Amino acid sequence: MADRTTRGLLAGLVAGLLLVLTACGGDDAGAEFRGAVLDQPYTVPDTALTDTEGQPFSLAKDTTKPLTLVFFGYINCPDICQVVMSALASAMTRLDASDRSKVDVVFVTTDPQRDTESALRTYLDRYDPSFIGLTGDIKTIASVGKPLAIAVLKGEKLPSGGYEVVHSTQVSAIDGQDQVPVLWTQGTSAAQFAADIHTLLGKES
The CATH number that applies at residue 152 is: 3.40.30.10
- Residue at 205 is within a domain: no
- Residue at 123 is within a domain: yes
- At 32 the pLDDT is 83
Which conformational region is residue 155 in: left (phi greater than 0), alpha (psi within -120 to 50 degrees), or beta?
beta
Indicate the pTM of the whole model: 0.82
- Integer-rounded Cα radius of gyration of the chain: 17
Provide the annotated binding site. Answer: 77, 81, 167
- Residue at 75 is within a domain: yes
Domain count, the chain: 1
Q: Print the domain residue range for 98.
A: 4-200
Provide the annotated binding site for Cu cation. Answer: 77, 81, 167
Identity at 46, one-letter amino acid code: D
For every one of its 205 residues, what pLDDT tens digit does the chain have, with 9 covering 90 and above? 444 434 444 544 444 444 333 333 333 334 489 999 999 999 999 999 999 999 999 999 999 999 999 999 999 888 899 999 999 999 999 999 999 999 999 999 998 888 999 999 999 999 999 999 999 988 899 899 999 999 876 545 544 444 456 567 899 999 989 999 999 999 999 999 999 999 999 854 4
- At 151 the pLDDT is 82
